[in-house]
């Protein structure tokens, strides 16, 4: 392919369907299109190229406009590229937009943006959110890199009436262990954005739509770093108050959020909901049991090396949720499958499992070794009175230093705190964060 400009994104369809590419300046002199034309934006509507107003249309010939939102200028990519004599094409498999002046080489499965079926792909992706977005909330797909250079795919939730001249409190929200941003984190963000918070949800590194190879890897250090990277992103938004950024961790992300706060003092408050400490297995076994557990995983490394890729087995169905659970799923598995395996919480990117050797690092990495050092920043532990994980919240509440609070939701089991807005105590979360930030 002869290409002049490539835009890479895990949310490629958001760009293709909307036909926009964002730029941070309102006057662009190069555009990386092999030209030296100047493009000026007037009042976020009219676009002039070399002094002449462009008449921009979509694939159906309907007028389209440039606009400025939250300090970022958005240009209709198709209209701009065609005005420069270029073609705009996209590769959904690779997640790339191509602005070219040549033909696609044979063998590259690339569809032209004019393909009418492309308009259906964004809706296809959005239908997998397990909740309805509030009419009072904007959701924007964003990407940014963590400290290791891994590109994270995230959703930014803001109040519909956001005033970019003001400073807002913000939270970064992590998913349950094996979950993705379209599930529980989005439920929390959707509610908190209605309450005046800027909320960022993300897919952990190596998982969902985020980058990183090999796929489905799990790492205590990197999953904690993903929270810190979210703080990086939020703190560089003009309308976010850097002194009012908190972290919310659901299930396994509760441990990662606390770990991140212990090493990142920019996190001013932490909320855990139905928390798990995934690294707890390293301290819950005696040496003989630990050795036996790790021996099988260690031996697996030989096989992974010989095959050239780590072994991975998906837990939950990939193509569609189950209509009902088989009788063979019992005990605690029944609770997990009720959420992840059925329509309630199923998502194609949420397999509920990681590479077979992922637990090696967790066995040697104590996520919450320094939980008492988070003080004087406050921690709110939320659990359910019938949650199987209740003892874990209570145990780490005891280990944390003041200020801290344990909030027990009556009638709530573990997975209820993923998505049940009638049981998740959003009033309490709002008041806790507001007090922590003031």
Residue with tokens 């079926």: 117
The predicted structure's pLDDT at residue 345: 98
Tell me the C-alpha distance between 131 and 254, whole Å.
21
Give the DSSP letter of residue 105.
P
C-beta separation of 156 from 190 below 8 A: no
Residue with tokens 């089991």: 413
C-alpha closest to that of 380 among 277, 279, 274: 274
Give the DSSP letter of residue 342.
B
Name all domains of the chain by residue range, CATH numbers in brackets: 3-126 (no CATH), 137-277+367-437 (3.40.50.1820)
Residue 325 CB-density burial (10 A; 0-12 exposed, 13-18 middle, 19+ buried): middle
Predicted structure pTM score: 0.76
The predicted structure's pLDDT at residue 53: 76
Whether the pLDDT of residue 419 is over 80: the answer is yes
Whether the pLDDT of residue 32 is over 80: the answer is no
Contacts of 326 (CB under 8 A, 6+ apart): none
Element holding 404 (H helix, E strand): strand 404-409
C-alpha closest to that of 18 among 87, 64, 62: 64
Residue 141 CB-density burial (10 A; 0-12 exposed, 13-18 middle, 19+ buried): buried
Q: How confident is the model at residue 47 (pLDDT cuts 50, 70, 90)?
A: confident
Give pLDDT tens digits for 165-179.
999 999 999 999 999
C-beta separation of 186 from 130 below 8 A: yes
Give pLDDT tens digits for 343-370.
999 999 999 999 999 999 999 899 999 9
Give the DSSP letter of residue 129.
-
């Amino acid at each position: 392919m002869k290409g002049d400009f490539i835009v890479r994104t895990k949310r490629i369809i958001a760009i293709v369907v909307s036909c926009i590419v964002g730029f941070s300046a309102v006057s662009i002199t190069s555009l990386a299109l092999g030209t030296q034309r100047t493009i000026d934006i007037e009042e976020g509507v009219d676009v002039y190229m070399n002094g002449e107003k462009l008449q921009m249309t979509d694939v159906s010939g309907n007028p389209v406009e440039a606009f400025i939102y939250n300090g970022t200028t958005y240009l209709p990519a198709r209209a701009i590229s065609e005005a420069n004599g270029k073609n705009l094409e996209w590769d959904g498999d690779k997640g790339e937009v191509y602005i070219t002046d040549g033909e696609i080489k044979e063998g590259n499965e690339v569809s032209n943006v004019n393909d009418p079926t492309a308009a259906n792909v964004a809706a296809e992706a959005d239908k997998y959110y397990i909740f309805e977005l509030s009419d009072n909330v904007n959701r924007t797909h964003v990407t940014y890199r963590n400290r290791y250079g891994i590109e994270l795919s995230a959703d930014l939730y803001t109040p519909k009436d956001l005033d970019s001249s003001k400073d807002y409190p913000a939270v970064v929200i992590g998913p349950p262990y094996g979950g993705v941003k379209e599930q529980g984190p989005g439920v929390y963000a959707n509610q908190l954005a209605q309450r005046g918070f800027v909320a960022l949800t993300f897919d952990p590194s190596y998982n969902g739509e985020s980058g990183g190879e090999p796929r489905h890897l799990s790492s205590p250090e990197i999953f904690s770093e993903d929270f810190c990277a979210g703080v990086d992103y939020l703190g560089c938004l003009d309308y976010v108050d850097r002194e009012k950024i908190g972290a919310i961790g659901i299930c396994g992300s509760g441990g990662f959020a606390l770990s991140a706060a212990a090493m990142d003092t920019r996190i001013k408050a932490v909320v855990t909901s139905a928390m798990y400490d995934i690294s707890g297995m390293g301290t819950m076994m005696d040496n003989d049991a630990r050795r036996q557990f790790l021996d099988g995983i260690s031996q697996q490394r030989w096989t992974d090396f010989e095959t050239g890729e780590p072994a991975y087995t998906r837990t939950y169905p990939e193509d569609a949720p189950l209509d009902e659970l088989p009788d063979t799923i019992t005990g605690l598995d029944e609770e997990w499958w009720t959420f992840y395996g059925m329509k309630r919480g199923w998502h194609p990117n949420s397999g509920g499992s990681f590479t077979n050797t992922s637990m090696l690092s967790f066995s040697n990495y104590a996520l919450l070794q320094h939980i008492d050092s988070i003080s004087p920043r406050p921690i709110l532990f939320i659990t359910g009175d019938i949650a199987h994980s209740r003892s874990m919240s209570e145990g780490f509440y005891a280990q944390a230093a003041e200020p801290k609070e344990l909030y027990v939701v009556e009638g709530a089991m573990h997975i209820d705190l993923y998505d049940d807005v009638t049981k998740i105590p959003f009033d309490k979360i709002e008041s806790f964060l507001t007090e922590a930030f003031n």
